[in-house]
Chain A
Amino acid sequence: MPRETAYEHSIDHVQVLSPDGSVDSELAPDLSEDDLLEMYWTMKRSRRLDERAIALQRRGELGTYAPAVGQEAAQVASAHALADEDWMVTSFRETPAYLARGTPPRMLLWYAMGMEEGSATTRESRTMPPSIPVGSQALHGAGLGWAQEIAGEDAASLVYFGDGATSEGDVYEAANLAGVFDAHTVFLCQNNHYAISVPRAQQTRAETLAQKALAAGIEGVQVDGNDALGTYAVVRDALASARDGDPVFVEALTYRRSLHTTSDDPSVYRHEEEEQEWETRDPIARFETYLRDRELLDDDRISDVEASIEDDLRGEIEAANEGREAVDAEEMFDYAFETPIPELERQRAEFRDAVSGGDGDGR
């Protein structure tokens, strides 16, 4: 018996703004000048915050920090496509997305200072706290998207993860369950090419990560994640589809130009030539060229933007330091449960006794 084709599919790749600055005007999103400049400002602000954070970590003022240098367009442009009523669900490298969502830098610094104050995002903000276990948050994004379907809400959820997360079962379960339950979810995989030291080619034999959607029966699409205009357009359309109960898996091709975290040394596992090649595809530089071409930016305006970012970050770092001074260790007992547990109240008493110089046995 000859074999017949049971299923055929292909994955689209989208690019609107090419590295040389030329634009596909048919696909270009209709963004206002204010929107474009806000995206630019947020991308620059994120890059600068990463630089400041690495310096602060080196001085011993922060714990481990995961910079997003190189991924600013993938995150800021996608988050810019969110409406206020949409949910954002993140991993641990989403500084640009949090900034685009309005989270103040001081919170991101607090988290890196080891304080839960930094992950205390509110339900009202529809922004989830960072998730450290790789890929586990994809299910939360699927759950929120399912909740929106059950509630009949005209809104969606956007969940961020990296290329390494696609090797985790939770990401497949999330895509599959989202399809089954018509979840209003967009999965945004930032393929930054490395899972710590393991390159994308060793994560999977799949040609693209977007095709991981196919096994779940949902749409998959690949976009140039260093192209802010293309990423915005693709994610805007994906969110529109998700609001109708058709989840989408977007692979944003990008590159982690800096460290996995401040404890990492990429020189062990990757070559300078590759890093230099990706430097020429830098998402901020490309966007800047485009905005200069449109005469929305010039040298003076760029200097103004940079000065305002310096000013802003100085204030945020000051506020973060003031917050750190106010840490009260006993508060750890306040949040484990909402309704009190007698054994934990006993341990709180032991803690008080121990910090006040007693023997801490609390009997």
Chain B
Amino acid sequence: MADRQRLVEAVRNTLLEEMARDDSVVVYGQDVGRNGGVFRATQGLLDEYPNRVYDAPVAEAGIVGLGVGLGTYGFTPVPEIEFSGFMHQAFHQLQQHVARLRSRTRGEMNCPMTIRAPYGGGIRALEHHSESFEAGYAHTPGLKVVVPSTPADAKGLLASSIRDPDPVVFFEPTRLYRAFRGEVPEGDYTVSLGEADVVQAGDDVTVVAWGAMRHRALDAAENVDASVELIDPRSIVPFDTETVLASVRKTGRCVVVHEAPKTGGMAAEITARINDRALYYLEAPVQRVTGYDVPYPLFAREDEYVPDEDRIRRGIERALSD
């Protein structure tokens, strides 16, 4: 059985289902209660679970730091950071405590938090509302980093994240919240973290893209004269390196697409992994199609900053040209 839902609806329904399944789940954050979240991702939760849903003051470090206490005590905190651009105010709590609690105590304690945060551009928002900092979190050992791209994946990945004993940063692409409806399996449904989705099989070139970029890459692939294999990793940590390598060994060419700035971004890491273990299968240098190394611009220049279908298509053509 499947139901057609928007991504934000899949998130909301999954939160409700996980709260019903596990009474240790506590949802809190700015505006998540009465207002139901600025994107409505938590609408109705407070009515259903008045003692497990809380509006929090504007305090990102506080929201994440409180989760260390809740998680240590035995709850499963699922806080929302209203926009991931403001999670930097809590980065020290993530890096110094959330990610390290298990190592610090040699497994005696853990923090099973899932921190949800809207991510990426495309909604013409204010400054700091559109960044993609997934590489920064991926660079923090002890954190898992997940980005769903479809309503079904939003459900399956969020359920897996909440059930995971390790802390997860769960980035929800704002551009996709209401962009389309997709089939969402009913009942208990999970997608394993670290299992890429081969969106479309192909023989000539491998394209790796996540979040909103997966959909743009798919559109771009339709307009190139080649057989494109599109891989959505779905989680950045753990990353399904094997699926990417197997594909690159088959196609000999690869393009990685992300919204984040180029330098030190995940595309660099993925390229390095390909160089480590599949270099001699490559027919051409791995191409990166990314945001530029500039502060995420205000929305008058946003469309030129974020990789669009045309830039992705040209990236694919570069990979095919050598």
Write the residues of chain A forming the contact surface with B, with a CB cutoff of 8 angstroms. Answer: 87, 89, 116-117, 119-123, 128-129, 131-133, 136-148, 150-151, 157, 169-170, 173-174, 176-177, 180-181, 331-332, 334-339, 341-343, 363
The 6 nearest A-B residue pairs measured at CB: A143-B69, A139-B65, A147-B73, A143-B66, A173-B62, A144-B69
Q: Mark B44-73, 1 if CB is under 8 A from A, else 0.
A: 000000011010110101101111111111
Q: How far is the CB of A148 from chain B (nearest CB, A)?
A: 7
Q: How many residues of B contact A (CB 8 A)?
A: 51
Residue pair B75, A173 in contact (C-beta under 8 Å): no
Decide: A120 near B93, CB < 8 A? Known: A139-B61, A339-B164.
Answer: no
Decide: A140 near B97, CB < 8 A? Known: A121-B105, A177-B59, A335-B102.
Answer: yes
State in angstroms the CA–CA spacing of A337 and B26 once bound together. Answer: 22
Q: Mark B234-259, 1 if CB is under 8 A from A, else 0.
A: 00011111100000000000000000
State in angstroms the CA–CA spacing of A132 and B69 once bound together. Answer: 16
Some 17 contacts from A to B, beta carbons below 8 A apart, are: A120-B105, A121-B105, A122-B108, A123-B109, A142-B69, A143-B68, A143-B72, A146-B70, A147-B69, A148-B73, A157-B69, A170-B61, A173-B62, A173-B65, A338-B165, A339-B165, A341-B194
Residue pair A174, B62 in contact (C-beta under 8 Å): yes
State in angstroms the CA–CA spacing of A137 and B62 once bound together. Answer: 10
State in angstroms the CA–CA spacing of A174 and B61 once bound together. Answer: 9
Residue pair A177, B62 in contact (C-beta under 8 Å): yes
Secondary structure of the A side of the interface? helix
CB neighbours (8 Å) of A117 from chain B are 106
State in angstroms the CA–CA spacing of A169 and B142 once bound together. Answer: 25
Residue pair A119, B104 in contact (C-beta under 8 Å): yes
State in angstroms the CA–CA spacing of A335 and B100 once bound together. Answer: 9
Given contacts A116-B103, A120-B104, A173-B61, 19 further A-B contacts (CB under 8 A): A116-B106, A121-B105, A122-B108, A128-B72, A139-B65, A142-B65, A142-B69, A147-B69, A147-B72, A147-B74, A150-B51, A170-B61, A176-B57, A177-B56, A177-B59, A180-B56, A335-B107, A336-B103, A342-B242
CB neighbours (8 Å) of A151 from chain B are 73-74
Residue pair A123, B108 in contact (C-beta under 8 Å): yes
Residue pair A133, B96 in contact (C-beta under 8 Å): yes
Residue pair B65, A140 in contact (C-beta under 8 Å): yes
Q: How far is the CB of B138 from chain A (nearest CB, A)?
A: 10
Which of the listed residues B69, B72, B93, B103 has the most CB atoms from chain A within 10 Å of its own CB? B69
